[in-house]
Amino acid sequence: MIRSISAVLISGILKKCPNCGKGNIYSKYLKVNDHCIKCSEELYSYRTDDFGPWLSIIMGGHIIVPLVLWVEQDYALDLWLQALIWIPLTILTVLFLLPISKSICLSILWRLKMKNNQDNQEK
Ligand SMILES: [Zn+2]
């Protein structure tokens, strides 16, 4: 059974297996399980490389930049205070979004059946 792209993306946002939507794909913060613990779907062969970090920066930027502009326009805080607020908030936002964006990327790769074929190239 092929899952719809919307169901696969929701599984990605929830950091769940793209095949069954139930098993967690991570064993640690960014460590992808080799196989789904619920349905045994192979997960290790989908390499997201740097697309996950790239996507988390894009999403984090779209959250943080409007907030920075709003605070600057309405409150005009001192620069040292803004740096004290925005730098840690940006880092925390991106670190929060990173596993979600990596999971979304893995789900898209799974849906498109884009497995890493590096093993085949080495032979
Ligand atoms: Zn599964």
For residue 6, count other CB atoms closer than 10 A to its CB: 8
- Look up residue 111 and give its amino acid: R
60, part of any domain: yes
77, part of any domain: yes
47, part of any domain: yes
Which residue is associated with the tokens 């297996």? 17
Ligand 1 center from residue 114 Cα (angstroms): 17
Ligand 1 center from residue 4 Cα (angstroms): 15
Ligand 1 center from residue 108 Cα (angstroms): 15
121, part of any domain: no
107, part of any domain: yes
Question: How much is the average pLDDT of 52-67?
Answer: 96
Residue of 9, 11, 31 lying closest to 22 (CA atoms): 11
State yes or no: pLDDT of 78 exceeds 90.
Answer: yes
50, part of any domain: yes
State yes or no: pLDDT of 120 exceeds 70.
Answer: no
State yes or no: pLDDT of 119 exceeds 60.
Answer: no
103, part of any domain: yes
pLDDT digits (tens, 9 = 90+) for 79-99: 999 999 999 999 999 999 999
Ligand 1 center from residue 54 Cα (angstroms): 26
Range of the domain at 87: 5-115
Structure tokens at 95: 């670190």
Which residue is associated with the tokens 């999403």? 59
Instruction: Say what percent of the chain tops pLDDT 70.
Output: 95
0.85 exceeded by the pTM? yes
What's the pLDDT at 39?
96
Number of domains composing the chain? 1
Enumerate residues 6+ apart whose C-beta is below 8 A from 100: 12, 13, 15, 56
Ligand 1 center from residue 42 Cα (angstroms): 9
Ligand 1 center from residue 20 Cα (angstroms): 4
What's the pLDDT at 123?
43
CA atoms within 13 A on the CB side of 38: 11
Ligand 1 center from residue 69 Cα (angstroms): 42
Ligand 1 center from residue 36 Cα (angstroms): 5
Enumerate residues 6+ apart whose C-beta is below 8 A from 84: none
pLDDT top residue among 121 and 43: 43
Beta bridge partners of 26: 32
95, part of any domain: yes
Question: How much is the average pLDDT of 43-62?
Answer: 95
What's the pLDDT at 75?
96
